[in-house]
Structures are given as C-alpha cells and as structure tokens.
Amino acid sequence: MTGEGILRIETRTGSGEPAVTEAKARCFEKNGRNHVLFEIEGDRCRLKFDEKALTYRRSGELAYELRFLPGEETETAMVTPYGTSRLTCMTYLYEKISKEDEMVLNLRYNVAGEDCDMKIVIVI
C-alpha cells in the first residue's frame, strides 16, 4: 500500500462514545512493514505495522510511542507540556485486514487502567 490517502481513527475508551480523528496520510512499505505518516493537532505521527504488531509514534507537544503486540504488556513514557508520565499498555487483540485500496487495523487494549477499542482505516 503506497501513496497518498485518508486515515480515520476511531477510539472508544470504556463505554463512552468513540473519538474520531481524520487526517491526510502518506503510506509506504519499507523492510516488510507498512508505514503511515500523518499529523494530529500539529504533532507528527507514524504508524508502523505488519501482520503481527503495530507501533504508534507521536512527536510534538504530546510525545509517546505505543507498541501493540497481542498478549504482551509494554511500557512507554508520555511527554506532555505538564511533565512526563509512564504508561503501561496491555494488548488483547490486534488484527490487520487488507483490501485492494483499504487497510483496517482493529485493536483492543488496556492503557492506564482503561479498556479501549481502536479501529484504524487507511484508504488510498
């Protein structure tokens, strides 16, 4: 999957309504992994993923790197304008669904004690 496209991220925490983020994205493959570059609120973001795992990196005013690998707990530092905190993320589900001009990533995880569901849709 290579080219310019649209990224849509739906994130639901607990039983609340999902938060939806849409952005223009640039997609490419490198070393057997997919990369998606985009911006959120002026911060640069990168998704790097394959069949087994997803890494979500954000840098700017808010900075972190979350790694989603089913059955594994990972830790990261989240840097904000107010200081740095440690986050623990336990991934329960990661699935990648590829179609001709679309890719869907489904995640179920727990971060900072909150159960979350995330659906990422990339359309080229």
Residue identified by tokens 């990339």 is 122
Q: Structural domains in the chain?
A: 3-123 (2.40.128.20)
- Type and span of the H or E element at 123: strand 114-123
Distances (CA, A) of 4 to 30, 68, 75, 91: 16, 24, 31, 29
What mean pLDDT is predicted for residues 9-33? 95
66: pLDDT confidence band, cut at 50, 70 and 90? very high
1: pLDDT confidence band, cut at 50, 70 and 90? confident
Gap between the Cα atoms of 31 and 115, Å rounded: 32
pLDDT tens for each residue of 82-109: 999 999 999 999 999 999 889 999 999 9
Region for residue 61 given its phi and psi (left: phi exceeds 0; alpha: psi -120 to 50; beta: otherwise): alpha
What pLDDT shows up at residue 52?
Answer: 97
Question: Global pTM?
Answer: 0.93
